Homo-oligomer: A and B are copies of this chain.
Amino acid sequence: MAKKQSSEVTRDLLRAHDLRPTRQRMALAKLLFPKPGHKQHVTADALFAQATKAKTGVSLATVYNTLHQFTEAGLLREVSVSSATYFDTNTSPHHHVLDEDTGMLTDLKPGRLALTGIPRPPRGSQVTSVDVIVRMRKKA
């Protein structure tokens, strides 16, 4: 568990994204962004558990609301993997490897995997994201 970022830094982060620095958002932001380079993949449930353990008074609904607001603000990226959604603090373009045995999601080193031939969207539409998930499992 990394040391939490200072309140001032966190407050500025929220303000910079037009998010009111409420007690709940401050607490969740500190958990999500403990220090500049620290990237992680977190589910709503896991974050709620962390917040609860840290005695932060935050409801599950607020965790969901906040994750989505942070995502809209560009602070997070949503990655859907079958029946679980991960919120990724690494918002730069990259792809994922999913360990199907453990459910663990790992970043693929950027630049390693390359995609060519992504179709151009019809006019009026745009490509929202290109998600590549490499699924791995232990051999039978």
Interface residue ranges, A against B (CB under 8 Å)? 80-83, 85, 97, 100, 108, 112-119, 121, 124-139
Residue of chain B at shortest CB distance from A134: B130
Most buried by B among A100, A118, A124: A118
Contact of A135 among B82, B112, B127, B136 (CB under 8 A): B127
Question: What residues on B are CB-neighbors of A127 within 8 Å?
Answer: 134-136
Contacts of A133 in B (CB 8 A): 130-131
Contact between B113 and A126, CB atoms less than 8 A apart: no
Contact between A125 and B119, CB atoms less than 8 A apart: no
B108, B113, B137: which contacts A116 (Cβ < 8 A)?
B113
